Amino acid sequence: MNAIREHSRSVWMDVEVAADAQPLSDDAKTDVAIVGAGIAGLSIAYELMRRGHSVLVLDRGPIAGGMTSRTTAHLAPICDDSLSELLSMRGAELARGFQASQSAAVDRIEAIQRELGIDCEFRRLDGILFLDPKSEASVLDDEVEAAAEIGVTVERGNGLPLQTLEDRPYLRYSEQATFHPLKYLQGLAKSLTDQGGKLHPYSAVEEISEDGSGVRIRLASGNTVEAAHVVVSTNSPIHDLFALHTKQAPYRTYAMAFEIERGALADALYWDTEDPYHYVRLTSRSDGKDILIVGGEDHKTGEADDAPARFAALESWIRTLIPDLGRELHRWSGQVMDTLDYGAFIGREAQRERTFVTTGDSGQGITHGVVASLIIPDLIERKECPYAAVYEPARKPLKAAATFLSENATVVTNLAEYLAPGELSSVDELQPGQGAIIRDGLDKIAAYRAEDGTLHQCSAVCTHLGCHLQWNSLERCWDCPCHGSHFAPDGSVLNGPAIAPLARVEPSGS
């Protein structure tokens, strides 16, 4: 169990999912083992249970304690990288398949919460995309044209009841949705366990292997799980060292929550045309007030450590639109894996028969996770699935060749950092609560001094493929810019694809 977890807390985190679940304490057998208990893993497990398979879900941390607990819960079938981009990258047929599958995912969440009677604030609402002053007006024209080709209904409008947006053109998409993600998963997890599904938090997986007869999973505890099939839903895949990781890149993204009078802003999803975009959504509180969530200010993981400036920019942006917004309630960050062609990678692993993967959530990881639950059970049962081609993990996004080169250049520039001097010359310079890279001869040390003065020193070499780590002052963890691993100051893994903790370095300073 990790003693130190990432630091900030999202607006949802008061709700615990499967609080009674226990770590796996013995060897086990199951039809399908699922590694990773976020929206993807739990949704896939639920669908498999309904089809009569036994399932066992393993997570390194708490159930639904990964990026799902940090989401902002926008359930939009609309590609968040814009419909025109999606169309030009994927072509009309696959773009229509993307749209249909994302809509089906929202419909599935709606049906499940109704069937199971989950009180998770699910509601349909409009999505409103408004023109940012820095964008050309033609951006919206391109969207309307692409929407017609993909088959998405859109209406034009002018003027929103927000300061500075009174004359701003916008597009309105109907039938979007939102919900409370952890209340939803609490209900889903209860139904799963009531039907005999097994959920095991604090059960980190270290190795997955398959042969002709089945799959064998080895946990850090030494226990093993034997299964006919395995689904790797760890957000960033832990079983694949290289191939999938060259086709996606980790981005850190920020969100804040503020009090707002109920009714002061119509309940809808709002986002603008800037890149990266800003977005606004609402959630309710029991005391008659609403909570407004605002997000954006993304950057590539590890390429900035300036969270206060990012939050200040978000706050200034939203207070310009809503000057009488109430007090701040929460601020947090998380990571999304952006793919080169905007679609996740969901399906059977290349050259494997029994191993399935879902990754590449982009900003649409909630719907992507549920899309995975519509595809993977069909593939396990060797049935046709109409959406499988859109998300085929082995696809090569040829139209994204330039992006491929620039995203993978991160690895090259990152490795050059081993030659750079340390950020401090000695651990003695570290202040309580501070982390920094320190050179020690030919090596680099990731050093952190806790508030109580305890010094943690680890190797600054990521245990996935050896990239150089960067300190994240907001979350008080080490981020890997290459493929998104996070490590706690004591070296334990917080987020994959890394499996092994950082090598400890014996303190030589004080």
Question: Site residues (CB under 6 A) for ligand FAD?
Answer: 35-41, 58-61, 65-68, 70-74, 204-205, 233-235, 238, 253, 255, 295, 334-336, 361, 363-367, 369, 496, 499
Residue 228 CA to residue 210 CA, distance in Å, equals 9
Nearer to ligand FAD, 84 or 235 (CB): 235
Q: Are 46 and 192 in contact (CB under 8 A)?
A: yes
What is the nearest approach in angstroms of ligand FES to the Cβ of residue 459? 12
Q: Tell me if 480 contacts ligand FES by CB under 6 A.
A: yes
Q: Tell me if 129 contacts ligand FES by CB under 6 A.
A: no
Q: Which of 312, 11, 336 is nearest to 178 (CA)?
A: 11
Q: How many C-alpha atoms does 308 have within 13 Å on its Cβ side?
A: 1
Of 195-203, 355-363, 462-470, 501-509: span binding ligand FES (CB under 6 A): 462-470
Q: Tell me if 482 contacts ligand FES by CB under 6 A.
A: yes
Nearer to ligand FES, 32 or 493 (CB): 493
Q: Tell how many helices (H) and how many strands (E) occur in the chain.
A: 8, 24
Nearer to ligand FAD, 40 or 427 (CB): 40
Residue 485 CA to residue 284 CA, distance in Å, equals 33
73 makes contact, choosing from ligand FES, ligand FAD, none, with CB < 5 to 8 Å by partner type, with ligand FAD
């917004």: which residue's tokens? 325
**H or E segment to which residue 336 belongs:** strand 328-339
363 makes contact, choosing from ligand FES, ligand FAD, none, with CB < 5 to 8 Å by partner type, with ligand FAD
CA dihedral 161, 163, 167, 170 (to 10 degrees): -60
What is residue 244's DSSP assignment?
G
Q: Tell me if 477 contacts ligand FES by CB under 6 A.
A: no
Q: How many C-alpha atoms does 48 have within 13 Å on its Cβ side?
A: 32
Q: Tell me if 467 contacts ligand FES by CB under 6 A.
A: yes
Nearer to ligand FAD, 36 or 489 (CB): 36
What is the nearest approach in angstroms of ligand FAD to the Cβ of residue 183? 15
Which position among 21, 498, 499, 505 is part of the footprint of ligand FES (CB under 6 A)? Answer: 498
CA dihedral 435, 4, 202, 469 (to 10 degrees): 0
What is the nearest approach in angstroms of ligand FES to the Cβ of residue 415? 10
41 makes contact, choosing from ligand FES, ligand FAD, none, with CB < 5 to 8 Å by partner type, with ligand FAD
Strand (E) positions, 36-109? Answer: 55-58, 74-75
Q: Which amino acid is at 477?
A: C
Of 44-52, 178-186, 280-288, 483-491: span binding ligand FES (CB under 6 A): 483-491
What is the nearest approach in angstroms of ligand FES to the Cβ of residue 424? 22
465 makes contact, choosing from ligand FAD, ligand FES, none, with CB < 5 to 8 Å by partner type, with ligand FES
Which position among 368, 464, 476, 486 is part of the footprint of ligand FES (CB under 6 A)? Answer: 464
65-94 burial, b at 16+ Cβ within 10 Å, e below that, comes to bbbbbbbbbbbbbbbbbbbbbbbebbeeeb
Nearer to ligand FES, 369 or 484 (CB): 484
What is residue 469's DSSP assignment?
P
Neighbours of 138 (CB within 10 A): 10
Q: Are 307 and 474 in contact (CB under 8 A)?
A: yes
What is the nearest approach in angstroms of ligand FAD to the Cβ of residue 219? 8
Residue 364 CA to residue 233 CA, distance in Å, equals 15
What is the nearest approach in angstroms of ligand FES to the Cβ of residue 497? 5
What is residue 16's DSSP assignment?
P
Binding site for ligand FES (CB under 6 A): 462, 464-467, 480, 482-485, 497-498
